[in-house]
Structure 1
Amino acid sequence: MVRFVGRDRELAVLHSLLREVADAAGSGRPGRCLLLRGRRRVGKSSLVETFVHDADAPDVFYTAAGASEAVELAELANAVDQSDLPDRTVFAEAIPGNWSAALRQLASILPEDRTSLVVIDEVPYLMDRVDAFEGVLQRAWDRELSRKPVLLILIGSDLSMMEALGAYGRPFHQRGQEMVLGPLTPAEVATMLDLDPASAFDASLVTGGLPLVCARWRPALTLWDFLSRELADPVSPLLVSAERSLAAEFPDYTYARRVLSVIGSGERTFANIARAAGDLAATTLTRALDALVSKGIVAAELPVSTRPTRARRYRVTDPYLRFWLRFIQPHLPEIERMRGDIALERVREGWTAWRGRAIEPLLRESLARLLPDQALPSAPVVGGYWSRSNQVEIDIVGADHGPVAKQLLFLGSVKWLEQAPFDRHDLLALQRHRAAVTDAPVPLVALSRSGCNVSGLDASYGPEELLAAWRPHPLS
C-alpha cells in the first residue's frame, strides 16, 4: 500500500466531518456530504479508503464503472452486500430498478442510532450515463439520506463535472462541502523519497507528485537510477498511468488527444499548434483546446503586464503528463521492445532544456507561497511575460492583478542549472527586459538552482527556500 505522506490535513477534515455527523445526531438533518475531486491517480480513493478503515463506523464503498444502469445497480447491491451495514440483506432480496429507488432503499438501511459512511466513487460516470442523476441525488439527499447520521462522500476525477455538481443553479448546489485533492507537493515528495531540495523538484517534474508513481521511487535513488529502472519495465506506472488517464478522460476526443500531444511536444501558440497538429481548422482547434482547458489538463495563459495583449500561450498543467508526452509517448513501441536504454539516453540529451521551461510554473507557485518576506511583498498574481515576437521574455512577474496589472511588484529570472549560477550576463538581460516593459525601478529577483554570484538583485532564492515554501506554516 502506498504510504500516505502529507495527507494529514485531508484526513483531519474527513474525521472532523464525521464528528459533525455524530454531534448532530438527534437533529432533523444530521447528515453531511463531501464532494471530493482531483485528477486521476492523485490518491482520492486511497485517501478515503484509509479514512474509512480508521473510522469506527459501518460503511459501504461503491465505485461506478460507466456501465449500463442495470449493471451499475447490481454492483451497488453487491457493494452493500459486502459492507458491514446492519441491514445489508435488504438489497440481496430485491435489487432496485432505478437509481431513485436504489438511493431510497440505501437510506432506509442506514442506522438511526450511530454514524455511518456511504462512499460513491467515480460519480461523473453516473452523471454522464444516468438520466437526471443530479436531480435524483438531490431528492434522495433532501428527503432521506440527510435525515440519517451519515457522511456521504462523492468522489470524481472529472474536475469540470465534479465542480459543476455543486455549482450554483445545479440541483445539488450547497448540499455538500467541496475538497480538492492535489498531487503530493515538492516538500511531500522530498519527505517520501528522502531527497535533497533540488532533487525533489526534479522528482516532482517527472512523477507529478502522483503517489502511485512516487511509490516506485525508492528512497535516496537518483533521478537517473529511477528512470533507468522504470523505462526497463513496460508496465511501470510511469509509463502506463498517463495513457490510462487520457483514455478515461478523452475516449472519443481524437482531436483533443492530438492537440495535447502537440502542446506536450513544446508548441505553445495557437498558430504553431494548428500547424503541428496537421493544419487543423481554427474552429476544430478551438473546440479541442476548449475541451482540454475545461478539464484542467491544459492552461491557456496570457502575459502579465500593465498593457493588455492577446499573445496567449498554452501549456500542459500536470508536470508528469508533460514529461510523458515529451519523452515517453513518442517512444512507447521502442520501450515495449525492451529498449528503454535508448529512451533514457533521449531523456539525458533533452533534460536540461526541457526542465528549464517545465520548472517555471512550479517555481512561480513556490515563490507565491513563500512571500512576503523582508525583500519582496506578497503578490496576488505571479506569472510570466512574453512579447508576441518572443524578443522579450520574463520568467517571473509579480503583480497586483492579472493578466492586466495596475502595478508590477517585482520581475525575475529562473536559471535552473547544476553548475551555472545566476551571473552578471543574466542580470544584464533581466535589466534590459525590465526596461522593455516598465520605466519604474521594479525590484529584481533570481530563482537559481546553483546560487548567484552577482550583486544588484533585490532578492534571490535557491532550492532550499523554494522547497520550504510548500511546508505548512504554523498559525501565529
Structure 2
Amino acid sequence: MERFIGRDRELQALRQALKQVDQATASTKPGRCLLMRGRRRIGKSSLVEEFVQRADVPYVFFTAAGESSEGELSELRESVASSNLPGRGLFAEEAPEQWNAAFRLLAEVLPADEPSVVVIDEVPYLMKSVDSFEGLLQRAWDRLLSRKPVLLLLVGSDLSMMEALNSYDRPFHQRGREMVLGPLNPADISGMLDLDAASAFDAALITGGLPLICREWPRGAGTWEFLRESLNNPISALLVSAERSLAAEFPPQAMGREVLNAIGSGERTFANIARAAGGIAHTTLSRATELLTSKGIVAAELPISLRPSKERRYRVADPYLRFWLAFLGPHMAEVERLRGDLTLERIKRQWTSWRGRAVEPLLRESLTRILPDESLPAAPAVGGYWTRSNDVEIDLVGADREPVAQRLLFFGSIKWLEHAPFDSHDLAALHKHRAAVTDEPVPLVALSRSGVVGDGLRAAYGPEELLRAWRPS
C-alpha cells in the first residue's frame, strides 16, 4: 500500500518552498518558513518525514515532548547531534544551555552554500514550556536563521495556538506562510482502499480520513469486515486514536470532555447538552463549547434563512471522533473483554440512522465543490434550516451568505439509504418545507445514495458525482 496517497499537493507545496530557498539570493534573505497545522494523528509528522527523505538535503528533525524548558533544550541538542547537518559536531562540543544560544549555534551549523531543512514539531509544547519562546524564535529568525538558505517548518496540532503564533499581535507575525493539513478526502480514500463511491463516503465517516486508520483498512474490504477486524484488536488505530488525541487536548479540570461526550452522543441543542453533561451551569457550558469550537473539534451552526435565528446547534466536526464517541468510546470495556461482536451488532442496528445525519456535512461540502454546473449556481454558503421544534427541517440550503441570507439559491434533501431512492413522497415533503420558509420558487435538489424516482427537481446528485467533486480538476 502506498504511504501518501492524497498528499501529492502537500508534498509539491513543500518542494516548491524548498526550491524558493534554493533559488533565492543572499541579499533577499533566502530563508523561508512554513507553519503547518492540523489535527492530531492527521499525518503531519509522517508527511514532513517523507518530504525530507525525498528532498535529500541536510536536515534536522526536532520533536518537542511537553517537557520542561531544560528537557526540551536537551532534546534539541540530541536531535542536532544525530542529524546529517554538516556542522552538527559543534552542537555536541558547545552544548548550549540557553535557547537563544541554541538558536544562534543552530544558525552557525546550517550550511551557507546549499539548502537545508529545520523541522520543529509540536511547537505548542514549546510555546507553553519555554519563557518568551515566540520572541526568542522571532529574533533568531530575523537576525540569523533567515539569512541562511533554510526551510524552517514549524509543525503543531493545537490549532488555536498555531493560528495565534502567526496572529497580528504576536512576535512571529507574518514570518511564515501557513499550511493546513486536513484528512484524506473521500476520493483519496476511494483510491487508497479500492472502494466504490458510496463505500468511500462510509469509510470517510468511520476513519475521518486519518491515514493511520486508513492503513489498517484492507484494500477492497467492506465496512463490516474492517470493523470486525478492528474491534477484535484492542490496540487498533480505530480504537485508540481518539483516546490519545482527547487525552492530549483536554486538561483534567476542564469540562470540555464531558460536553464533547454529550454532543457525541447525539445531543445538539444547548439545553440538551447541559442536561446530558450532568446539568452543568450555563456559564460552564459556554466556556466548554467555546473551548471545543476554538480547537475545531465542535462546529456550532445556525440555520440559513432570510431571518435571524438563535437556534444554534452543535455537532462533532471530525467524522472519526463523531463515530468513536457514538459507538466505541462508551463501550471500550466491552471490547477489552473481547466482546467486540456485541459492539459490532450495536453499530449495525444504529448505522443507518446515525449515518443519515453524520454524512450531511460531508455531502454539503461535496456539493459546494461541484457548483456551479449547468443546473445550479455557485453557492457561497451551503448549510441547513431547522426550527426549534423541528417541524420544519431542510437538509440543504444554498444561499449568498450565512446565516442570514439576502438570496436563497436552492433547497434540497439528503436521502442516504442503500435501497430507497428519493421519490415523490420526499419531493412532497421538500415542497412543504420550502413553503414554510419562502413563497419564492427556489430550485429544489436531492442528494441520494440510491438514485431518484420521478420529476420535479432542478438537479440530483449521487455518490459518483459527489465523489468526483473531490478529485483534482
Amino acid at match of 1:436: A
Per-residue Cα deviation, 1:172-223 (whole angstroms, up to 9, x for no partner): 1111011000000000000000000000000000000000000000111000
Compute the displacement of 1:163 (Å).
Answer: 0.8
Question: Aligned ranges for residues 404-419 of structure 1 at < 5 Å?
Answer: 404-419=404-419
Q: Give the secondary-structure state (helix, strand or coil) at the position aligned to 1:445.
A: strand
User: Is the Cα contact below 8 Å between 1:367 and 1:469 reproduced in 2?
Assistant: yes
The runs of at least 4 aligned residues of structure 1 exceeding 4 Å deviation read none
User: Is the Cα contact below 8 Å between 1:69 and 1:98 reproduced in 2?
Assistant: no
Q: Distance in 1 between matches of 2:71 and 2:272?
A: 45
TM-score by length of 1: 0.98
Compute the displacement of 1:28 (Å).
Answer: 4.3
Matched, 1:91 2:87: no
Matched, 1:366 2:366: yes
Q: Distance in 2 between matches of 1:411 and 1:129?
A: 50
User: Is the Cα contact below 8 Å between 2:302 and 2:311 reproduced in 1?
Assistant: yes
Matched, 1:234 2:234: yes
Q: Distance in 1 between matches of 2:99 and 2:245?
A: 27
CA shift in 2, pair 1:250/1:200, >3 Å? same
Q: Distance in 2 between matches of 1:308 and 1:234?
A: 47
Compute the displacement of 1:253 (Å).
Answer: 4.5
Match of 1:268 in 2: 268
Match of 1:131 in 2: 131
Q: Distance in 2 between matches of 1:387 and 1:98?
A: 58
Amino acid at match of 1:412: G
Per-residue Cα deviation, 1:224-257 (whole angstroms, up to 9, x for no partner): 0000000000000000000000111113354100
Q: Distance in 2 between matches of 1:455 and 1:159?
A: 46
Match of 1:247 in 2: 247
CA shift in 2, pair 1:163/1:413, >3 Å? same
Q: Distance in 2 between matches of 1:181 and 1:26?
A: 30
Match of 1:288 in 2: 288
User: Is the Cα contact below 8 Å between 1:393 and 1:433 reproduced in 2?
Assistant: yes
User: Is the Cα contact below 8 Å between 2:35 and 2:179 reproduced in 1?
Assistant: yes
User: Is the Cα contact below 8 Å between 2:117 and 2:151 reproduced in 1?
Assistant: yes
Matched, 1:455 2:419: no
Match of 2:181 in 1: 181
Q: Distance in 2 between matches of 1:172 and 1:52?
A: 24
Per-residue Cα deviation, 1:389-428 (whole angstroms, up to 9, x for no partner): 2111000000001000000000000000000000111000
Q: Give the secondary-structure state (helix, strand or coil) at the position aligned to 1:178.
A: strand
Compute the displacement of 1:377 (Å).
Answer: 0.5
Q: Distance in 2 between matches of 1:51 and 1:340?
A: 38
Q: Distance in 2 between matches of 1:373 and 1:15?
A: 34
Compute the displacement of 1:26 (Å).
Answer: 2.8
Question: Aligned ranges for residues 7-406 of structure 1 at < 5 Å?
Answer: 7-406=7-406
Compute the displacement of 1:296 (Å).
Answer: 0.3
Q: Distance in 2 between matches of 1:169 and 1:63?
A: 26
Q: Which moved more, 1:21-30 or 1:458-467?
A: 21-30
Per-residue Cα deviation, 1:104-123 (whole angstroms, up to 9, x for no partner): 11111111111111000000
Q: Give the secondary-structure state (helix, strand or coil) at the position aligned to 1:27.
A: helix
Compute the displacement of 1:56 (Å).
Answer: 2.5
Q: Distance in 2 between matches of 1:330 and 1:232?
A: 16
Compute the displacement of 1:328 (Å).
Answer: 0.1
Q: Distance in 2 between matches of 1:153 and 1:292?
A: 26
Q: Distance in 1 between matches of 2:179 and 2:28?
A: 25
User: Is the Cα contact below 8 Å between 2:26 and 2:147 reproduced in 1?
Assistant: no
Q: Distance in 2 between matches of 1:404 and 1:253?
A: 37
Q: Aligned pairs, how many?
A: 473
User: Is the Cα contact below 8 Å between 1:371 and 1:378 reproduced in 2?
Assistant: yes
Q: Distance in 2 between matches of 1:113 and 1:344?
A: 58
Amino acid at match of 1:286: S
Per-residue Cα deviation, 1:71-123 (whole angstroms, up to 9, x for no partner): 11111011001101111011112322222221111111111111111000000
What RMSD, in angstroms, separates the aligned Cα atoms of the two structures? 0.9
Match of 1:469 in 2: 469
Amino acid at match of 1:331: H
Q: Distance in 2 between matches of 1:425 and 1:354?
A: 22
Per-residue Cα deviation, 1:311-360 (whole angstroms, up to 9, x for no partner): 00000000000000000000001100010000000000000000000000
Unpaired stretches in structure 2, ≥5 consecutive residues: none
Q: Give the secondary-structure state (helix, strand or coil) at the position aligned to 2:160.
A: helix
Per-residue Cα deviation, 1:297-318 (whole angstroms, up to 9, x for no partner): 0011000001000000000000
Q: Which moved more, 1:288-297 or 1:86-95?
A: 86-95
Amino acid at match of 1:212: L
User: Is the Cα contact below 8 Å between 2:207 and 2:214 reproduced in 1?
Assistant: yes
CA shift in 2, pair 1:425/1:308, >3 Å? same
User: Is the Cα contact below 8 Å between 2:306 and 2:405 reproduced in 1?
Assistant: yes
Q: Distance in 2 between matches of 1:212 and 1:308?
A: 42
Q: Give the secondary-structure state (helix, strand or coil) at the position aligned to 1:71.
A: helix
Q: Distance in 2 between matches of 1:122 and 1:253?
A: 23
User: Is the Cα contact below 8 Å between 1:2 and 1:215 reproduced in 2?
Assistant: no
Q: Distance in 1 between matches of 2:30 and 2:432?
A: 62
Compute the displacement of 1:33 (Å).
Answer: 0.3
Q: Give the secondary-structure state (helix, strand or coil) at the position aligned to 1:18.
A: helix
Amino acid at match of 2:468: A
Compute the displacement of 1:2 (Å).
Answer: 6.3
